Amino acid sequence: MTDSQTSRALRASADVVILGAGPAGLVLGNLLLAAGTDCVILERASPSRVRTRARAGFLAPNTVRILDGHGLADGLHRYGHPHAACEFRTQDGRFRLDYGALGQGGRHHVYPQQDLVTDLLRHYLGRGGRIRFRTEVLAVHDTDGTRPSVTARGPDGRTVRWTARYVAGCDGRRGAARRSLPADAVHHHDHGVTWLGLLAQAPPSLDAVGYAVHDRGFAGHMARTPEVTRYYLQWQRGTAADAWPEQRIWDELDIRMRAPEYGPLNRGALLERGLFDLSCDVAEPLRHGSLFLAGDAASVLAPAAAKGANLAVLEAEMLAEALVDALTRGDTGGLDTYSDRSLEHIWRAQEFTGWMTRLLHAPPDGDPGAGSFFQAARRRSRIASLRTSRSHQDWFADNYVGV
Ligand code: RFL
């Protein structure tokens, strides 16, 4: 091969280059293809890794509406199930909020994220979509001009330069899109709390999301499938995820979930353990020239209120519409307002997630108010208000399922 042939072989192009095949990138890719827009997805992981990464599970009504509207919800309706209740357990007793019957009556659909991603990938490939797996984006270039590009290393180790009209950064919090931003572009907040996230090979133990507020720390219960349940334990930051044997973890879940009073938890093998610092961030603005951010690349939320995947799908829909308008009709109005419109949803979700985080946890160690009588009493009063005030419950329900 001559030099010029080599350089031709290492160049490629698409109207929209999408970084990342998570919910954001795959919804965006599907919607662009459906509108006849040329795109390619570059994904660092292998297909099997993408199809098996267990994360979210609670899909909001707006997410289901978007997936339905674009013919992407077949698996969700076949295998997922509606969910509309949560139960709080505290030193003052337990109470249940049937949030599907409160506020505007929205319900979640429980459907594991890896199954949703598998469906989205099947549809994308079925529509003839281009995707490159095991292809790591190294850098995003020239987003100030009209011909941005992306360099990516493929499975054979060769670097390819993809040129585009637009680049969609859907590659999460540690992706290449964020690395290309100015140093002060991402605004961080740390809630100061760490969770040990567990996936247990065990049927759910209650027919509601369980939120246990306990002096020893928070514990959570969330159904995933009839055979698998997610649990969370508030965890000492700095302690390794595998520091406790399974028996001790189940015993601690029993104590915090108050199993002796409210019924035993179904135990099973722990399939997965992961540590999550409840920190969040927003990459404001979401547009830098011809680079647009969506999903976790745009904003990360603490998982307390199950918003991340839902925001990712919403932003992907808004970005797809704006890109199609720009590429097919030359109308860039949607792209000009994409960042502001998305940030409105993001900040509302951040506010509610912060409220939930403060409701469920004692102030972190090192916080000036940690363990103070005053702080604890205020939290107790906040929970009492949620237990007794219908208007507070309606507010909770609308924010809990809304994005
Ligand atoms: P993803 O899913 O992280 O996908 C990003 C993709 O980009 C790839 N990538 C790269 N590819 C090429 N080059 C690079 N340089 C790359 N760097 C990264 C990655 O391999 C990956 O495939 O981001 P996306 O699409 O923005 O989706 C966001 C959601 O995944 C996330 O917000 C949710 O999982 C958050 N979340 C929840 N959200 C909900 O709405 N409901 C829930 O119930 C819920 N539960 C959760 C959660 C997140 C959790 N973790 C892991 C923090 C529970 C947990 C435990």
Q: Which of 307, 333, 310, 335 is nearest to 320 (CA)?
A: 335
Q: Among all chains, which residue has been given the structure tokens 């919090």?
A: 173
Residue 219, SS3?
strand
pLDDT in tens, 32-75: 999 999 999 999 999 999 999 988 889 999 999 999 999 999 99
Residue 29 CB less than 6 A away from ligand 1: no
When the candidates are 3.40.50.720, 3.50.50.60, 3.40.50.150, 3.10.310.30, the CATH number that belongs to 3-57+112-185+284-355 is 3.50.50.60
Query: Residue 320's pLDDT is what?
Result: 98
* Structural domain boundaries in the chain: 3-57+112-185+284-355
Per-residue pLDDT tens over the stretch 144-186 = 988 999 999 999 999 999 999 999 999 999 999 999 999 899 9
Q: Is 169 in the pocket of ligand 1 (CB under 6 A)?
A: no
Say which residues have a Cβ less than 8 Å from residue 162's Cβ, sequence separation at least 6: 11, 12, 13, 14, 17, 40, 42, 149, 150, 151, 152
CA 170 to chain centre: 12
Q: Half-sphere exposure of residue 154, counting CA atoms within 13 Å on the CB side?
A: 13
Instruction: Specify which residues 139 forms β-bridges with.
Output: 151
Mean pLDDT of the chain, nearest integer: 93
pLDDT in tens, 251-298: 999 999 999 999 999 999 999 999 999 999 999 999 999 999 999 999
Are 86 and 210 in contact, with CB atoms under 8 Å apart?
yes
Question: Beta strand 39-42 with 16-19: parallel, antiparallel or unpaired?
Answer: parallel
* Each residue's pLDDT tens digit, 290-335: 999 999 999 999 988 889 999 999 999 999 999 999 999 999 999 9
How many angstroms is it from 173 CA to the middle of ligand 1?
8
Helices and strands of the chain, counted as H and E runs:
13, 21
- Of 84, 96, 105, the closest CA to residue 394 belongs to 105
How far, in Å, CA of 232 to CA of 155, rounded? 36
The SS3 call for residue 24 is helix
Pairwise CA distance, residues 136 & 49, whole Å? 14
Residues 6+ apart with CB under 8 A from 70: 27, 30, 31, 34
**Which amino acid is it at 378?**
R
b/e per residue 373-385 (b: at least 16 CB within 10 A): eebbeebeeebee
β 39-42/130-132 pair status: parallel
Q: Which has the closest alpha carbon to 23: 67, 61, 86, 87?
A: 67
Q: Is 48 exposed, middle or buried (0-12, 13-18, 19+ CB in 10 A)?
A: exposed
Supply the pLDDT for residue 2: 36
Q: Is the CB of 276 under 6 A from ligand 1?
A: yes
The residue among 111, 55, 57, 109 whose CA lies nearest residue 84 is 109
Query: For the residues 197-218, what does the mean pLDDT come to?
Result: 95
Question: Which residue, 364, 370, 368, is CA-closest to 190?
Answer: 364
* Integer Cα distance of 283 and 287 in angstroms: 9
Asked whether the predicted pLDDT for residue 369 surpasses 60, the reply is no
What distances in angstroms separate CA 61 from CA 68, 174, 181, 246, 295, one per listed residue? 10, 28, 33, 35, 17
Task: Ligand 1 pocket test: pick from 296, 299, 342, 403 the residue with the most ligand atoms within 8 Å of its Cβ.
Answer: 296
Residues 6+ apart with CB under 8 A from 208: 85, 86, 87, 96
pLDDT-based confidence at residue 371 (cuts at 50, 70, 90): low
Residues 6+ apart with CB under 8 A from 343: 282, 284, 285, 286
112 ligand 1 Cβ < 6 A: no
Best probe residue, ligand 1, of 114, 121, 159, 171 (max atoms within 8 Å of C-beta): 171
Closest CA to ligand 1's atom 37: 56
What is residue 367's predicted lDDT score, i.e. its pLDDT? 59
Is pLDDT of 4 > 50? Answer: no
Q: Alpha-carbon distance 374 to 378, whole Å?
A: 6
Q: Are the CB atoms for 312 and 294 separated by under 8 Å?
A: yes
In short, whether 24's Cβ falls inside 6 Å of ligand 1 is: yes
Catalytic residues: 83, 211, 303, 307, 400
> How far does CA 341 lie from the centroid of its chain?
19
Minimal CA–CA distance to 181: which of 140, 211, 214? 140
Q: pLDDT (tens digit, 9 = 90+) per residue, 65-83?
A: 999 999 999 999 999 999 9
Q: Is 50 in the pocket of ligand 1 (CB under 6 A)?
A: yes
Q: pLDDT for 99-153, tens place per residue? A: 999 999 999 999 999 999 999 999 999 999 999 999 999 999 999 988 999 999 9
When pLDDT is cut at 50, 70 and 90, the band that residue 6 belongs to is: very low
What pLDDT was estimated at residue 3? 39
Reported as a pLDDT band with limits 50, 70 and 90, residue 363 is low
Tell me the one-letter amino acid at 9.
A
